[in-house]
Structure 1
Amino acid sequence: MAALINLSAIPVFLLIFLRIAAFFVVLPLFSYRTIPTPFKIGFAFFLALTMYYAVDAAAVPIDGVYVVLLVKEIIVGLLIGLLAYIILSAVQIAGGFIDFQMGFAIANVIDPQTGAQSPLTGQYLYIFALLFLLSVNGHHLLIDGIYFSYKMIPVSEFIPIHQESMATFIITTFNQMFLVAFQMAIPIVGCLFLVDVALGIIARTVPQLNVFVVGLPLKILVSFIIIFIFLGLYITLTEKLFGTMFTAMRDLMQLFGGT
């Protein structure tokens, strides 16, 4: 039995497993509460077992440096998955902008996937984004990303971090995220702004009309119509958001790998 188990492979396998497990902890779709924890652990284990035979990694001795490598692998997996989660949160930000103009900002709901509060419209658009991600096999691309991370960030090497490059990368990524969120929200927010202007004019010309009673259902009706009209544009912007997410993940791995 001992001959069938290569004990020297266990340290390298553990490094690969920790990066994949940390990646799934924060990654969209794979990190949700509705997915049982034993399934997450088992999926990460067998995926790490598959990648062990595909990744070129030299034997790593167990010493003080090995503990640092374990921490490095956890940090790399968490940061790559967290980056994907943060960029997809642009949909929630856009929904927050829309709900504020619609009057739904006070009516947040509990997301059963993450357990956090999220805006109504943001949750609606986020579900569409996740379904679109699954329909184009985006989850396969996410797994490919963690696989290619071993080529850019070797298991047995440390991460050369350049503070100026990291700061520039963070600023650029967040700028693109908020830009896409603004592009998603601006059609509806702009139309609701025009509705507010029209209600203000009506309030000045017809003082007997209570615009607070008429305005809220009118803005909700207009919002639903505009969301229905601009749903095709939203899918296009979601595709652009996915491209931004995959590009940012690649750039982060290249930054960590020193390339």
Structure 2
Amino acid sequence: MIDITSAQWQAWLQLFFWPTVRILAFVMASPLWGMPSVPRQFKVLFGVGLAFAIAPALPPMPNVPLFSLASVGIMLQQLLIGVAMGMVLRIMIAVVQTAGEFISMQMGLGFASFYTPDSGTNTMVLSRLFEMLTLLMFLALNGHLICIEILAWTFEVLPIGATSIDASFAETLARWGGTIFTSGLLLAVPIVTALLLINLSLGILNRASPQLSVFSVGFPMTLTAGLVLMTTLMPDLGGFLSGLFDQQLRFMQGMIEQMAGAGG
């Protein structure tokens, strides 16, 4: 008869519990797996299954009882790491959403919005379109597999309970949020500039010929021009998104290394 002691049970629980917390925090915070349309049962099963897959290769767990204050501190640390990684991917999606809002406002589609359960707010149509295209491109370029690889790598750089976290990463992550406006504006600038020139031309035309109504001519013209420019932009969208993915994933890796800086 095989006898299993309480210490062995605790060691097995420690081996799977804390990695699962970090993985589930990342899954819930990421825009891909964390969508409300994804069933919660799948999220939990995915996190637990991934923890079981990488647990045998993890460094030894700290000898801390699961039901203790030290265990709570370790769990909060794992939550912080997972949420921080998910926020990097959220910033990536926010970049294209911001670009969609810039273009929508210039095209006259500011009122063309609908409720999205992902964000809990009204989202403009072009923002939602760019978001879907970005997620599909992310999957096509195996970005989700790279994220899982980085997530498994974090257990080597930030072993569970074996290191402290450098708090300066929070400022770096906050500053990185400025990418939402810089990269988003960079994506939208060609279309916004062209539409701005069209609006200026219509304004001059209205001054030269007051009987020509800008409201009856300008809106169809800007909308049609915007659609044509969007069609022209699409072939180059893949290159922009590829660079954006590479930039965000490299930042995620650098952020994890910065978080491990205090631990040596």
Q: What range describes the TM-score normalised by the shorter chain of this pair?
A: over 0.9
Alignment of 1:25-174 (within 5 A): 25-62=28-65, 63-163=68-168, 166-168=170-172, 170-171=174-175, 173-174=176-177
Name the stretch that deviates more: 218-227 or 10-19: 10-19
- Shift of the alpha carbon at 1:116? 3.1
* Equivalent residue, structure 2, for 1:175: 178
Contact 1:9 1:59 in 2 (8 A): no
Contact 1:60 1:156 in 2 (8 A): no
- Using the alignment, how far apart are the partners of 1:59 and 1:145 within structure 2? 22
- Using the alignment, how far apart are the partners of 1:24 and 1:162 within structure 2? 22
Alpha carbons of structure 1 residues 4 and 235: separation in structure 2 relative to 1, 3 Å: farther
Report the 3-state secondary structure (helix = DSSP H, G, I; strand = E; otherwise coil) of the residue aligned with 1:230. helix
Alpha carbons of structure 1 residues 116 and 146: separation in structure 2 relative to 1, 3 Å: farther
- Shift of the alpha carbon at 1:241? 1.2
- Using the alignment, how far apart are the partners of 1:91 and 1:23 within structure 2? 21
Q: 1:204 aligns with which of 203, 207, 222?
A: 207
Residues paired across the two proteins, number: 257
Contact 1:12 1:60 in 2 (8 A): no
Instruction: Tell me the TM-score normalised to structure 2 length.
Output: 0.91
CA RMSD of aligned residues (A): 1.9
Contact 1:27 1:84 in 2 (8 A): yes
- Using the alignment, how far apart are the partners of 2:4 and 2:173 within structure 1? 48
Unmatched tracts of structure 2, length 5 or more: none
- Shift of the alpha carbon at 1:112? 4.4
Alignment of 1:16-27 (within 5 A): 16-27=19-30
Contact 1:72 1:158 in 2 (8 A): no
Name the stretch that deviates more: 221-230 or 105-114: 105-114
How far does the alpha carbon of each residue in 1:172-220 deviate from its partner, in whole angstroms, 9 at most, with x for none?
Answer: x223342211111001100110111110111011111111111111101
The residue type paired with residue 12 of structure 2 is: A
- Using the alignment, how far apart are the partners of 1:9 and 1:182 within structure 2? 50
| Identity in percent | 24
Alpha carbons of structure 1 residues 166 and 39: separation in structure 2 relative to 1, 3 Å: closer
- Using the alignment, how far apart are the partners of 1:95 and 1:64 within structure 2? 46
Report the 3-state secondary structure (helix = DSSP H, G, I; strand = E; otherwise coil) of the residue aligned with 1:106. coil
* Equivalent residue, structure 2, for 1:243: 246
Unmatched tracts of structure 1, length 5 or more: none
* Equivalent residue, structure 2, for 1:193: 196
Instruction: Tell me the TM-score normalised to structure 1 length.
Output: 0.92
Report the 3-state secondary structure (helix = DSSP H, G, I; strand = E; otherwise coil) of the residue aligned with 1:61. coil
- Using the alignment, how far apart are the partners of 1:43 and 1:123 within structure 2? 26
- Shift of the alpha carbon at 1:113? 4.0
How far does the alpha carbon of each residue in 1:18-46 deviate from its partner, in whole angstroms, 9 at most, with x for none?
Answer: 00011100112101122111111111111
Structure 1 runs, 4 residues or longer, greater than 6 Å off: none
- Using the alignment, how far apart are the partners of 1:4 and 1:141 within structure 2? 39
